[in-house]
Amino acid sequence: MNKYLSLVVCSVLVLSSCGGSPIATLSLTSMSFGSQVVGTTISGQAITLSNTGSARLSIDGIAVALPFTQINTCGSSLAAGATCTITVTFAPTIEGDFTSNVSITDSAKGSPQTVALTGTGVPPTPPGCTPVGGRCGPGLPRCCAAPFPHHSFCSNPTGFGTCQET
Is residue 66, in this structure, part of any structural domain at all? yes
One-letter amino acid of 137: G
The better pLDDT of the pair 1, 162 is held by 162
pLDDT bin (cut points 50, 70, 90) of residue 68 is very high
Q: Are residues 37 and 93 in the same domain?
A: yes
Q: What backbone torsions phi and psi does residue 17 show, to the nearest 5 degrees?
A: -90, 0
Evaluate whether residue 2 is within a structural domain.
Answer: no
User: In the chain, how many domains are there?
Assistant: 2
In a domain, 54, yes or no: yes
Alpha-carbon separation of residue 11 from 3, 18, 55 (angstroms): 12, 11, 20
100 and 29 in one domain?
yes
Helix then strand then coil, % of the chain, to nearest 5: 10, 45, 45
Range of the domain at 28: 17-122
- What is the rounded average pLDDT of the residues 125-150? 84
Does 27 share its domain with 74? yes
In a domain, 7, yes or no: no
One domain for residues 98 and 68:
yes
pTM over 0.85: no
CATH code of the domain covering residue 67: 2.60.40.10
82 and 141 belong to one structural domain = no
Q: Which of 52-66, 120-134, 152-166 has the lowest mean pLDDT?
A: 120-134
Does one domain contain both 101 and 72? yes
What is residue 16's predicted lDDT score, i.e. its pLDDT? 39
Residue 62 inside a domain? The answer is: yes
Residue 108 lies in a domain: yes
Same-domain pairing of 85 and 153:
no
Put the strands of the sheet holding 96-106 in their side by side order: 30-37, 113-122, 96-106, 57-63, 77-78
pLDDT for 81 beyond 90? yes
Residue 11 lies in a domain: no
Q: What's the length of the chain?
A: 166
Cα 163 from chain centroid (whole Å): 33
Q: What is the mean pLDDT of residues 77-100?
A: 96
For the segment 39-51, the average pLDDT, to the nearest whole number, is 90
